[in-house]
Amino acid sequence: MNRKAWRNVRLTMKSLTITIFTLAILFIFLSPFAFMVFTSLKTQDQISIIGAPIWPARPAIYENEETGQTLEMFTVPMSECEGSDGERGNQNLAIIRKGLRESTFIDPDELERGEFICAVSWRNLKRPWQFSPTWDNYKRAWESIPGTFPRVIGNTTFYALSTLVGTLISCTLVAYGFSRFRFPGRDFLFVVLISTIFLPAFVTVIPTYTFFQRIGWVGTWLPLIVPAYFANAYNVFLIRQYFMTLPRELDEAAMIDGANPWQILWLVIIPQSYPVLLAVTVFHIVFAWNDFFGPLIYLSTARQHWPISVALQTFNGIYGQQPQLIQAGSLMAMIAPLILFVLAQRFFVQGIVITGVEK
């Protein structure tokens, strides 16, 4: 084997190891997600059977064709049954009468044997389970969510996108101001900016609500959307950090070529900043998608505008919680941000490649 081929093998091995390693971590990482999916496919019935498998299933049922009677099936150790004559092994039997420590069964495969008693506790018996996902939860979540599902998702999309644009533009501008210009008081202002997130958000909610109520914005989208156009500490800080890592040589070259600060931002800085803009885009969409308290208080009289985060909460009522509907609804709600995430990745990765060529 020549050296080149040997190197290829080593590279493949390396990539295989690392990929398998990552897959293993991912497997653990996604278990809560599997929990969601499985729960969304279960009936309330299955959720409450002790010892039920974690995957969606229903206990097997025996239906007597003559009487039309349906009986639950259990896996019974035959040695515990009367007339077993040293029979060994387990068999799936249908239960006729449940008792504490002995129950009456029939054998569906051997009906002529008739009813017989086994000295087993039926609660402790395993049941033959049949894989049986219930898609009905998705249908019910889709239909019974307040408003209709497409409308709720539409509201959420509108909220996410209309605030995304404002966030991206305003935060980029402000971060540029904080990272590329030096002037007295700049760092002071920056600490003021950061300090706006030091008070827990719920502490300022009453005066904020009062303010928006006085100017007549409560019950509309405005208190949720307009502030997004005036930058926020989280994203400005992040973008600023990124801008600060970009070397100044290109700025200076552009400046010598006669570019003004706007042109430098647009032509030099932004093209180098796709990864961070991707991050901000994704954060913001996820934030808006799951933002709960803001839409709740500002849109409480305007149910037709409810986003998904608020609408889903109605499955979590005071007396009736419906985890399977919550999970089904949540999974459907996650599809859009996931697609956006994947698309955004493609968009920005392409961006990087293209800039690379231009450079």
Q: Interface with another protein includes 187 (CB under 8 A)? A: yes
Provide, rounded to whole angstroms, the least separation between the CB of residue 159 and another protein: 9
Stretch that binds another protein, among 59-67, 75-83, 107-115, 309-317 (CB under 8 A): 309-317
Binding residue (CB under 8 A) for another protein from 41, 127, 134, 170: 170
Provide, rounded to whole angstroms, the least separation between the CB of residue 288 and another protein: 12
Provide, rounded to whole angstroms, the least separation between the CB of residue 110 and another protein: 25
Binding residue (CB under 8 A) for another protein from 90, 92, 220, 254: 220
Binding residue (CB under 8 A) for another protein from 5, 86, 88, 188: 188
Residue 257 or residue 319: which is nearer to another protein going by CB?
A: 319
Nearest to 49 by CA among 36, 59, 39: 59
- Binders of another protein in range 233-292 (CB under 8 A): 234, 236-238, 241-248, 261, 271-272, 275-276, 278-279, 282-283, 286, 289-290, 292
| Residues that contact another protein, how many (by CB under 8 A) | 168
Q: Interface with another protein includes 334 (CB under 8 A)? A: yes
- Binders of another protein in range 126-155 (CB under 8 A): 144-146, 148, 150-151, 154-155
Q: How far is CA 237 from the centre of its chain?
A: 26
- Binders of another protein in range 69-128 (CB under 8 A): 98-101, 121-124
User: Which segments of 85-148 does DSSP mark as H helices, in order?
Assistant: 136-144
User: Who's near 354: CB < 8 A, 6+ residues apart?
Assistant: none
Query: 126 forms bridges with which residues in the sheet?
Result: 75
Look at the alpha carbons of 354, 355, 358, 359 in this order and tell me if their dihedral is positive or negative.
Answer: negative
* 57 in Cβ contact with 130 (< 8 Å): yes
User: Who's near 359: CB < 8 A, 6+ residues apart?
Assistant: none
